[in-house]
Amino acid sequence: MTGRGIDQVLAHPGDPTLHEPYVRDAREYLRLAERAHGAIPRGVDPAYVWGDALAHLRRVGAPLAIVNLETAITGRGEPWPGKGIHYRMHPSNVSCLTAAGIGACVLANNHVMDWGTQGLEDTLAALQAGGLRTAGAGAGGDLAWAPTSFELGNGRRVLLFACATASSGVPGGWAAGPRRAGVALLPDLSDDTAQQLADDALRQRRGGGLAVLSIHWGGNWGTGIPPEHRRFARRLIDLGAYDLVHGHSSHHPLALEVYRGRLILYGCGDLINDYEGIVTPGSLRSDLGCLYFATLAVPSGRLEHLEMVPLRRRRFRLENADRAARDAVIQLLDEGSEPQGTCVVRGAAGTLELVWKRNPAADCASLAGTPRRRRAPGAAPQA
């Protein structure tokens, strides 16, 4: 979420005017964060917001890094009527994404059209100019639903599909049509919709490769996984359509699952946002995020290894999480995961690792002693 307050600390801050019920100036989010953690520099280098995350990205060297980009990139357009929050980042600040080596931005979410069709057009143009691929939104229905393809060498290919649901706050008027720009908006999470998605993915996959579905769904806060999300994700895997489901919308990490050897991330949480100093519901924290490094076997698509790096946001910059923050992330990731046979354990140098049962009779207590899985030959890591 690189708009609003984040945009104001970058080298090319846009117009700070907001159209929110209570906050009218994006710089107020800087002041809230500074009251919580101290002074934040202005006009920062594009890499500033990534902080300690950059070392982990370099260490792993994943051939493909995917983010859900939850902001428009524009200095034009009109705020979408009836929406309480409108995110945008100045187009000259797109380098804050390229600084981290991002390869693809998912745009199927509830903020990409905060500044209307003109804002979406500018967003697509800015990302293309920066060398970033996109999925989940476009100038028309075919473009919004089309996957973006990555050739990773050695015969490895990844197709990235993206879509969103109304439950994440996407207005119905944003749905892309045959001659209407917009986002890939699902009508529901029914079996019929799953079948249509699967048929399209299987048709696109005839050339081979792995397939990732990135989906924006559900609310911002709360640790429960809606049963319809679990049922829908599993159904897509049962149909043989996708090798990884990348879910997002929640502002904090949610439980995850390995189903039939495929990874389902129900909610990855925010990695970058301007929420420091904002009161959050209950004991949930707005300052925690994760990097997810998933290693998938080629050509089967089965999960071989998942490393997670918990991070804490301070002064609009990512820092390695301390022990208390790591424990909080573990609790979030484990809540609701154990019945599905997964456990999160501590790895080396502050990282976390996922272990999962291949034996249905195993319990999580025994899983905690499972030795670290090594990356399989030919496996394709993805961030």
Q: Containing H/E element for 210? A: strand 210-216
Instruction: Give the range of the structural domain holding residue 87, as residue numbers without chain letter.
Output: 5-382
Q: What is the CATH number of the domain that holds 129?
A: 3.60.21.10
Structural contact between residues 162 and 108, judged by C-beta atoms closer than 8 angstroms: yes
Residue by residue, DSSP assigns 315-371 as: TTEEEE--HHHHHHHHHHHHTTTGGGTEEEEE-GGG-EEEEE-SSTT--HHHHTTPP
In this structure, which amino acid lies at residue 116?
Answer: G
Dihedrals phi, psi of 351, to nearest 5 degrees: -90, 170
Read off the tokens for 175.
């749905």
Beta strands in 227-350 (DSSP E): 244-248, 256-259, 262-265, 288-296, 303-314, 317-320, 342-346
Structural contact between residues 244 and 295, judged by C-beta atoms closer than 8 angstroms: no
Per residue of the chain (383 residues), what is the pLDDT tens digit?
Answer: 999 999 999 999 999 999 999 999 999 999 999 999 999 999 999 999 999 999 999 999 999 999 999 999 999 999 999 999 999 999 999 999 999 999 999 999 999 999 999 999 999 999 999 999 999 999 999 999 999 999 998 888 999 999 999 999 999 999 999 999 999 999 999 999 999 999 999 999 998 899 999 999 999 999 999 999 999 999 999 999 999 999 999 999 999 999 999 999 999 999 999 999 888 888 888 899 999 999 999 999 999 999 999 999 999 999 999 999 999 999 999 886 666 688 999 998 899 999 997 544 455 555 555 444 434 333 443 43
What domain count does the chain have?
A: 1
User: Is the pTM for the entire model greater than 0.85?
Assistant: yes
Integer Cα distance of 110 and 125 in angstroms: 19
Integer Cα distance of 161 and 146 in angstroms: 7
Structural contact between residues 321 and 350, judged by C-beta atoms closer than 8 angstroms: yes
